[in-house]
Structure 1
Amino acid sequence: MGSNQKSTYSFKFRDPNLGLIKGLISDLKKIRRNNFCVEYGGMLTIMNTEVDAWAIFTFAQLNDPPLRCFTFQDFQLAPTLEEFSRIADIGIKDAVPYTGLGEFPTHQQIGSSIHLYKAEVKANLGPKGDTLGFILKFLVGKASDFKSKEDWVTFNALLALILYGIVLFPNIDDFVDMTAIRIFLLKNPIPTLLADVYHSIHWRNEKNGGMIQCCTPLLYKWFLSHLPSERPFVQNKDNLKWS
């Protein structure tokens, strides 16, 4: 008789180095952080989420590819647009989300979105791997310059683009790639964030393990939102193992 026990896969999750970003915002006053959140949502909260690696590793094992959900012993869970929107505090636009199709934005369009000159964008938008983008140090350096000038509109735009590329849509270490830039220009990230979770976890289960490319802190916060927050589960959390 065959066993119904599911195989355990070896998953990895991209864990970006946030040192430069945290250094950039470490001395921001509360009012500046609040103003950023009003315009760009809860990305700072997502960035500062401490993810329990064992929790998310265990959770990924429960993916049910045929049903496109996560199957537990007695119930099933599936993230939704509305849940991700609430957790990220970013609204969902009534517009076509990012599809990966169409032409790349021009240097002028990118520059306008982050308040940089076209020539500066052209000089610093370079290749890495098989994509174009900005090196993180360049964007952090520009953000720091505008911070010192107290140009908060430009600072916030640069910080938001950085968080799109490093936290929401991590792909290449210390690099904000063209995909993140294009999603930033659309300002409708929630559908893509949800699609990343479904696609990456499903794909890695099909391949029996590997690197899961999605916004892990957002997935973790969603997972925790469905767990008990009181009584025995919380009281005994130090004695429980996710596995």
Structure 2
Amino acid sequence: MEKWFLDKVEDKAAVRTWSKTTQREKCDSLAEEYVSELWDFTRISVGQNGLQELKEIWEQWNDEVDKHLFRALAQFWNHVYSCFTFEKVDLVPTIEEYMALLRCSKIQVDKTYSRAVNVSTFLKKLMNIIGISEQWVATRIKQKGDRKCIPWKNLKHLILAHPDTKKKVDVFALSIYGLVVFPKALGHVDKAVTDLFYRLDKRVTPVSVILAETFRSLNACRKAGEGRFVGCAQLLFTWFHSHFWKVDKVSYQVFSENYSPLKEIVATPRRDDILEEKWMAIL
């Protein structure tokens, strides 16, 4: 038994040594003749859902995104490596960083994409979340392109008038996920968002999905040279801000359990008069 254990340890050490050696020699997994190329310019739209109605319910939520800075930042996204490339420096948001930003480090990361045994329909999930009759939900489900969704205006009415206080909070949280975190269909909450939200009470983390959608959308926009960013622009902007501007001159404060970078960035005055070209020169 002891010999078997030692053999396994040696095998792992050999694999680790081989991996490090290969990384130093080959640098990456791309073909040897491949040349990483950044396009001259990408036209990217940062169209977002209007948050005025959400602000009336919870005024402190909306953190306006600097569109000039965001568009400039998108020009440095390297879709081959899925990271931001600033000359010789690569920078990419990680699961650990986003978990710190969202304050959800206790959630089980490995259960994000696990398949549920009994999968409920979009209609049934909405009924459970909203707590309203099947007829009411069925008449309000809409088809937007190839996806099903429910309009925000219907959810807003429930937030203001639902007799169950807990359901009000649930509907409000679902709206934030659909309008801000995953704004797939503007003015609507998408079925895929409902699928994820339905599983949050089972301790399934949204962080990996948020990052996956961020990478997917940035890659799609860069490859096409244009497009709308379908992801949480506010969260990506906060992550970017935390790397380039120190808070109170204290490094890595963003990873402290007693500090909220989201609250900090909302309270921090920022200039919005710097044009995209100027931001690109700065970056």
State the TM-score, normalizing by the size of structure 2. Answer: 0.67
Asked if residue 242 in structure 1 is aligned to residue 279 in structure 2, the reply is yes
Q: 1:159/1:5 Cα in 2 relative to 1: closer, same or farther (>3 Å)?
A: closer
Does the 8 A contact of 2:125 with 2:194 survive in 1?
no
Match of 2:101 among 81, 84, 87: 87
Give 1:117's aligned residue: 133
Report the equivalent of 1:186.
199
| Map of 2:68 onto structure 1 | 54
Indicate the SS of the match to 1:209: coil
Name the stretch that deviates more: 162-171 or 79-88.
79-88
User: Deviation digits for residues 154-208 of structure 1, max 9, x if unmatched?
Assistant: 1110001111111111022211121111111122321111001111111211112
Query: Which residue does 2:83 correspond to in 1?
Result: 69
**Corresponding residue for 2:46?**
13
SS in 1 for 2:93: coil
**Gaps (5+ residues) in structure 1?**
27-44
Gaps of 5+ in 2: 1-36, 250-267
- Equivalences, count: 213
Q: In structure 2, what residue type is equivalent to 1:155?
A: K
Using the size of structure 1 for normalisation, the TM-score is 0.77
**AA at the equivalent of 1:88:** L
Kindly tell me: are residues 106 and 194 of structure 1, through their superposed partners in 2, closer, same or farther at Cα, counting changes over 3 Å? Answer: closer
* 1:128 and 2:141 correspond: no
Query: Cα gap change, 1:95/1:5 in structure 2, threshold over 3 Å: closer, same or farther?
Result: closer
Runs of 4+ in 1 over 6 A off after TM superposition: 237-240
The alignment yields a C-alpha RMSD, in angstroms, of 2.8
- Alpha-carbon distance in structure 2 between the residues aligned to 1:239 and 1:109: 44
Assess if the C-alpha contact under 8 Å between 1:105 and 1:182 holds in 2.
no
**Alignment CA distance shift 1:121-1:227 (3 Å):** same
Q: Aligned partner of 2:75: which letter?
A: Q
